[in-house]
Chains A and B, each alone.
Chain A
Amino acid sequence: MSMSRSKRDRSIPRRPLLWLAAALLFTLPPMFRSLAIWVPCLFLLALAMKFWMEPRGYRLRFAIFKLMLAAVAVLIIFASYNSLKGIEPAVSLLVVLISLKVLEAHTAREFQVMVLMGWVICLCGFFLSQDFAAALCLLSAFALLLVALIQFHRAASPGALWPPLRTACKLLAQAAPLIVLLFVLFPRIGTGFRFEFRDLRAAGTGFSDRLSPGSIASLANSSDIAFRAEFPGSNTRPIGPMYWRGAVMWHCDGMEWRVPYAPASISRAPNQSPSGITIQQRITLAPHGARWMFALDRPFETPQGAMLVRGDYIRSVQPIRKTRRYEVVSSPEVTRNDLTPYERKEALELPASISPAVRELAQSWVAQNSNSRAIINSALQFFRTQGFRYSLSPGEYKKDDLEQFLFHRRVGFCEHYAASFGTLMRLAGIPARVVVGYLGGEYNDLGDFFLVRQADTHAWCEVWLPESGWTRVDPTNIVAPGRASLDLNSFLEGRIASGQMEPRRSAFLARLARSAIFTNIRLAWETLNYQWDTRLLGFDADVQDVFLSSIGIANHGPYFLIVEVLAIAVVMLVIYFGWMQLRTRSRVNPVKVLYERFCRKIARLGAQRHPWEGPSDFSMRAAQLLPHESERIQQISNTYISLRYAPEPDAIMLDTFAKEVSAFGR
């Protein structure tokens, strides 16, 4: 009940400021991940300064000083990004300006502005990252800002921790159905304007159109998610190793292979549809800014917005800038199609720079064997017997280092084996191409999906055999048996455990990572991630359209839909109001009700009680006005006074009182 007037407007109260700081700390992780490091540091510094300045009454006073600080900040941002365009500099600028505002704000009224700015920072955070961890941080920040605002308006009310938190939880719980309603039904009207972000993940991990030595090995430590795959028909899970086809490389340059500059789209003739089993996959692809799409070896039905390209892989028509979900059908059986003369020429093309020793090796296989299969087996035999090793850090190779690799160092990762094998096949006169994609994937039995990481990137070969068409040959399997049936991490851990490989982390951490409880937590976390990516991030305007027509309200038109949603919202608010009214309405006091009834009765007889009159004074006056009722009036008043002011109401007395009142005036 404390009053606070004059103090409120001179300084920002401490308790809400603490909540605000807690909220803003939650907005930091996405910033640290994508902004120049000094930006979140400055933000932290401003927060700390505020806590130091506020109790001492220090503040930034001069407008010219503030302007200078802002100008310096803009200059530093320009210096560290070389541009003010794009999302990172824009967010940095906003964060820096908000830091200044935090330093500058000093009246209570500005607190509301600070909270609004906090919500804008949450918005910026979503520009930087939308994965589940970032969203969790940002939504926590959103909720904590709410708590800060409530605490600010509670002012000196008792309770600094739980009561404002409880009010915020109540608000959020009541808002939850409304959020779902708005999210699902509110029409996503486009504004027409679009601001394009610069490619967030331009230098990101993953795929490129070039397979050079070391390009895949460098991804082996990346835990970034490439995509997740579900198999909607549970009986059609692949039996063998999962080769996810991403791109086919035709252009050979020794140790380096490349995708054609303009992959030609092909259409499959209807009679070529596979006769055997088909596997349906639902894939949720993380955005990568390019057009790669993946499907199990080999896709034959293309999803929407994608095309089937020569080499039997799918490719998106538009660059994939946000999470994309698609369904694709593959058939593990190889369909035989003829090799055109042009393709045969392309699949045998070789660079001039190949050394004589390598040519000799290939020629020796051709001389020893009569058919293609035997040549392939000799080549694989070569890799198996000549002491080749599988390693994450094979050292550096250049594209002309084929001889180095094959005869001297003999250490490589999958891309080295695929590239050299492909080149050797071409030297031996067998049409060959290199396929890149992913191999394996970790099964999550909680969410029933496979998670494929960037670390699972893989390259393998396909050779043309007259009797079976393009046939997969994976030379890595010879050097690292077992890799094909596992994802890379599990495979490496298995090797480390058996002592075949140097551990990458300390033994304790590795053991911890393998422990059951840790694995379960990790799987649960990945399931949540997957749900967030598919259920929430997947629910964009197009999906909403499909959903609305599936429940039969798509044709209502956006404005009608808005009216409908608002009407439901209003009804909900009225229900909330009524419910709260019911819960907090004052208790009915039976004694008071009875006395009021008595007063109404006596007023009809001519004695009106004045609002300021106590029951005792009134009974005396009423007794004078109505002398023949004076005894009963006195009696009722005495009972009323003793009932009303007794520490504990007596049930028998109340009963008597009720009888007296009802008997009065008859």
Chain B
Amino acid sequence: MKAKRLPLVYPTASFAGLLFVLGTMWYAASSQNSPAVYLLLFALTAVFLVSIPHTLINLAGVRVALESAQPAFAGQEVSLPVEISNSSRATRHGIELALSGSNRDRERIDYIPADKAARMTLRFPARRRGEHEIGALRLTSVYPLGFIRVSKKFASAQTYIVYPKPEGDLQLPSNGTSIPRNSLQAEIGEGDDFAGVRAYVSGESQRHIDWKAVARGQPLMTKQFAAEREGFVHLDFSALRFANVEERLSQLALWVIEAERARRPYGLRLPGTEIRPAVGQVHFHQCLRALSLFQVGMPGSA
């Protein structure tokens, strides 16, 4: 991405401290008519002034490239992998990146050598379900003295998806019927007999992650236990009796995760959309995406 406009320059909080010190020096120098104190005052002033072009140049040739963000559940964190490249012939120091408008979640890279790139992950909270635009990113730097911040804005039309927060009290419906019953069925995947491992699905409980395998450097795997059942299930929006759309979507999202974890084919019925029963990553994300985008922007939705 290329920067939108010329970089902005504005003082940081410690600039106030610097002004105070300079003011003190000036008062002392002029009231004592002391050339030595004037020398100190002017040295500090001049070094500060000279640091401004240094700070400005520190962002020259630095570009941001966004990769696609992994979908996240509402309430969790969105991780946005970013590549910051330095096409100049000098090492750039202390580069910070933040979403425009939020100063808190500033990520920092200490240095990027000339003609090299660095990767970082920008994390920010996923607040509401739906598809959101990343909007603008701010690349800032206070190097070398920290009294002045230079900020470059990079606009991005890229979006990220936030799935509904998986929560609810109801059991997963037992079979093809769409009405959940209080069956005596055991918690799926919570049996006693170890039956193997499969890939971890983001959003599900971390209790069954095979941490020993992770420690060996393998990817995240979930341990499965032999209480899992056969038979598909229809997850139906209209069959849920909550008044609130968001509560229904949250319940459905939880069920999608539970069904996927149990490797049990599941279908999703939303008003106007139907997804046929299946299992697997593609199907899983298709269902969650449908839940995420359901009635976004309509009156009454979040």
Contacts and interface: CB of A to CB of B under 8 A. Distances in A.
Given A540-B33, A576-B53, A1 B108 contact: no
A563 to B, nearest CB: 15
Nearest to A542: B33
A135 B111 contact: no
Contact of B46 (A178, A193, A195, A537): A178
Nearest to B51: A171
Interface of A is mostly: helix
Contact of B14 (A112, A156, A536): A112
Interface string B26-47: 0111111111111110111111
A123 B35 contact: no
A186 B31 contact: no
Contacts of A536: 35-36, 39
B120 A3 contact: yes
B145 interface: yes
Interface in A576-594: 576-577, 580-581, 583-587
B30 A188 contact: yes
A116 interface: yes
A178 B50 CA distance: 9
Interface stretch (A146-154, A226-234, A395-403, A439-447): A146-154
Given A1-B109, A156-B110, A183-B38, A123 B89 contact: no
Contacts of A22: none
A643 to B, nearest CB: 18
A573 B54 CA distance: 10
A539 B34 CA distance: 9
Contact of B36 (A135, A150, A189, A190): A135
A120 B110 contact: no
Interface stretch (B90-98, B151-159, B227-235, B271-279): B90-98
A61 interface: no
A8 B39 CA distance: 34
Interface residues of B, number: 61
B49 A569 contact: yes
A586 B54 contact: no
Contact of B111 (A126, A154, A174, A586): A154
Nearest to A536: B35
B25 A123 contact: yes
A581 B60 contact: yes
B167 interface: no
A152 B93 CA distance: 11
Contacts of A142: 40, 43-44
B195 interface: no
A127 B28 contact: yes
A607 to B, nearest CB: 23
Nearest to B87: A586
A506 interface: no
A513 to B, nearest CB: 29
Contacts of A176: 46
Interface in A533-578: 536-541, 569, 573-574, 576-577
Interface stretch (B16-24, B174-182, B208-216): B16-24
A138 B40 contact: yes
A540 B110 CA distance: 44
A197 B94 CA distance: 44
A2 interface: yes
Contacts of A152: 146
A464 B29 CA distance: 49
Interface centre among A156, A158, A183, A186 (most CB of B within 10 A): A183
B112 interface: yes
A371 interface: no
A2 B110 contact: yes
A183 B24 contact: no
B204 interface: no
Contact of A585 (B14, B40, B49, B89): B89
Interface in A166-198: 167, 171-172, 174-176, 178-179, 182-183, 186, 188-191, 193-195, 197
Interface residues of A, number: 68
A130 interface: yes
Contact of B31 (A174, A195, A584): A195
A586 B40 contact: no
A577 B17 contact: no
B133 interface: no
A435 interface: no
Given A122-B40, A142-B40, A190 B31 contact: yes
B107 interface: yes
Contacts of B32: 194, 197
Given A182-B45, A191-B30, A573-B53, A120 B39 contact: no
Contacts of B107: 3, 5
A512 interface: no
B142 interface: yes
A580 B53 contact: yes
Nearest to B60: A581
Given A112-B17, A113-B17, A190 B33 contact: yes
A186 B45 CA distance: 12
A225 interface: no
Contacts of B37: 123, 126
B116 interface: yes
A421 interface: no
A542 to B, nearest CB: 8
A188 B108 contact: no
A88 B61 CA distance: 51
Contacts of B54: 171, 580
A190 B30 contact: yes
Interface of B: 14, 17-18, 20-21, 24-25, 27-40, 42-47, 49-54, 56-57, 60-61, 87-91, 93-94, 107-116, 118, 120, 142-146
12 contacts: A3-B120, A130-B36, A139-B40, A139-B43, A153-B93, A154-B143, A171-B50, A172-B47, A179-B43, A188-B33, A569-B46, A584-B61
